Structure 1
Amino acid sequence: MDTVEISGLRIGYQRAGQGPPLVLLHGAYEDSRVWRPQLEELSDDFTVIAWDAPGCGRSDDPPPGFSGPDLGDALAGFLREVAPRKPHVLGLSWGSGVALELYRGHPHMAASLVLASAYAGWAGSLPPEEVERRYAQILAELDQPPEQFIPGWLPTLFTERAAPAIVAEVSAIMADFHPAGMRALLIANGHADCRDVLPAISVPTLLLYGEEDVRSPLSVAREMQRQIPGAQLVVIPDAGHLAAVEAPEAFNAEVRRFVHSLGD
């Protein structure tokens, strides 16, 4: 695990392989460890860089008043320090919103976007009552021991066919969350709406979704595709919200295909 200081925050990250840089942005209650299948398998073709977002993993918690644009700025600073050249940026679930905040504030920093199980922010993709339900749920969970609430998350992240070892691995990662860091991130962008960013995206964009995703369903995927000029949509069969973990061979194959199609 490496670290770098960005605007006074220590940011932890993992790096593997050589080749075009591919930066991975994890989802909520996660950190860079969730990308183990990508760090192991995509490093044959790419310099794979997986960060721990502020407030997660080995990174420092954000300061009071941290905002969604601040998160995009932190990622931009991180990329300037660690990416050997303009990277391909892959955001998973909540991490897709971080990628969109990066594009909002720094549109020339990414060579392409891969938005997996993505939202245009919760408020940009979900009904208002669902946004408030999710916000209130996480706010309440932050005062609970992880073993009390994480089991309830797992059926929304995986299909019933997911390998028990994979589910257990992700459960252990989620249990290692920072309560203060998650609270800061929830306040920063739990009500994010990035719909205004989507029509402005001019870099090649791949949308990757699990066929059985119940958190970010295919109706959200199709609306993202409609709004982003030229976006490709690929649906991974027999996979849920964490398709990158549940179906890594299919997920990684689509990432390789997309990036190599751009000439890298």
Structure 2
Amino acid sequence: MDDGELVDVGDVTLFVRELGERSERPSLVVIHGGPDVGHGYLLPGFEPLARDHHIVLFDFRGCGRSTRGLPDDALQPEYVVEDAHRLIDKLGLGEVDLLGFSTGGRAAMQFLEKHPDQVRRLVLASTTAYTDFEPQLASWDEYQRRRQAGESVSVWDLELAPAYDVLRAGLGTDKGDWSYERAISGAMHPWAPADPERVLRDAGKPILILHGEQDMGFPVEVAHRLHSAVPGSELAIIPSAGHMCHFEKAELWSGQIRRFLDAPLANRSGDWHPGAMETVYEAAGGSEGMVRLAEAWHSRVMADEVVSHAFSHGFHPQHSERLAAYWAEALGGPTTYSSDFGDESTVVRTHSGNGPHHEMDRRAIACFDQALDDVGLTDPLRQVLHDYFAWATTTSMTQYTGTKSDVPDGLSIPRWSWEGLVPAAS
């Protein structure tokens, strides 16, 4: 591993560490999170990737071994973005792949907005484009239990918490001058662009959204939400892993990045995709496949002590058939549901008026994943169906938590393709 060097980028000196060997493929430049700690905590996730990729990590100004003691007005997100821009030029890296982790992911979105020509592909890891996720954490029972018990919310597997604490303790020199209090007081400028969804859509770059399934920093719903808002983006969820999923499952985490970086660009330009000759509905087995999946999911749900509560007052005798018809229409099949049973407003009202229920939503998604396995569906189809169900559960069906009367009339069933949410016709 490179021991690092100091690189002068103008008004500050950055501590830079390079992993792996430079090659013809673009280097991967990493913007770490925090912002009050250097990049050292990320090394476990990048060491496996460095076997065949060149990776550049650096400490923010005011962090680790980069320039310290700067005034508060010089410790702002836009300076991190410009430091990264100048570092890429100084090292002669040309067009790079960019990865932003946690808070660094928000800075990476700002980098893309300001310097799009320097970015080939973008990885957004354990981050968020949104700031309205606190209610999801507030209603997450396990998160609240851990906070009250003083247990780790950084990793999901509590058996790994001591090892992660040892890693952090060994990085004492990484602790920075950035003030968390300034960030929450509003004295710090925004890390992300004003409209990150627009920035990501307009850039037209391949984007991987990489997130831990049990992230207690930025709950996984924000990843599904961003994926649905940016057509063509990829979503990779690391199962049974928290915010620091790069530490918990380093090989799996780095493997997802490697797969994304090494895939031919044509695969993401619209020239080809897994369903080029058929809809998601057709690939899943058509009407019969939808019914099998609906029945498998319903069976899993009824065996779950939390999700089954939604059916405690009974359900329609043809619930599985109706659900299958709804999924079929959403996934490119016939419009039987709209013709015979109702529109999107009808469905959303069924799920509205009960307040937030994030824990139930999580378990419903887990039941769906089990159902996908039960009926023998595999990737890439399995991932597309997972993404659809997770989006519908956490976004489409949770827009109106107040009363059923809040749901407007005439909503159309959202459509989902191999590329994600299909934009509604104007």
TM norm structure 2:
0.51
Given the superposition, is the C-alpha separation of residues 250 and 185 from structure 1 closer, same or farther in structure 2, using an over 3 Å criterion? Answer: farther
The aligned runs of 1:13-162 (5 Å cut-off) are: 13-18=16-21, 19=23, 20=25, 21-28=27-34, 29-61=36-68, 62-66=70-74, 67-120=76-129, 124-126=130-132, 155-159=152-156, 160-162=158-160
Query: Structure 2: which 5+ residue stretches go unaligned?
Result: 137-148, 266-426
Given the superposition, is the C-alpha separation of residues 189 and 97 from structure 1 closer, same or farther in structure 2, using an over 3 Å criterion? Answer: farther
Deviations 1:93-134 (A, max 9, x none): 0110121111121111111110001112xxx3325899xxxx
SS at match of 1:65: helix
Query: Aligned partner of 1:155: which letter?
Result: S
Per-residue deviation, 1:237: 0.7
Deviations 1:180-231 (A, max 9, x none): 3346983434675543423323110000000100111111101211222311
Given the superposition, is the C-alpha separation of residues 191 and 167 from structure 1 closer, same or farther in structure 2, using an over 3 Å criterion? Answer: same
Deviates further, 159-168 or 73-82 = 159-168
Aligned match of 1:233? 235
Aligned match of 1:167? 165
1:2 correspondence with 2:9: no
Aligned match of 2:209? 207
Per-residue deviation, 1:13: 1.1
Deviates further, 166-175 or 203-212 = 166-175
Deviations 1:127-168 (A, max 9, x none): 5899xxxxxxxxxxxxxxxxxxxx96x722111242532332
Aligned match of 2:292? none
Given the superposition, is the C-alpha separation of residues 243 and 26 from structure 1 closer, same or farther in structure 2, using an over 3 Å criterion? Answer: same
Per-residue deviation, 1:43: 1.6
Q: Aligned equivalents of 1:40 and 1:208: distance in 2?
A: 17
Q: Aligned equivalents of 2:181 and 2:85: distance in 1?
A: 19
- Count residues in correspondence: 238
* Maintained 8 Å contact 1:14/1:32: no
Q: What is the root-mean-square deviation in Å for CA atoms of aligned residues?
A: 2.7
SS at match of 1:252: helix
SS at match of 1:156: coil
SS at match of 1:30: coil
Rg (Cα) greater in structure: 2
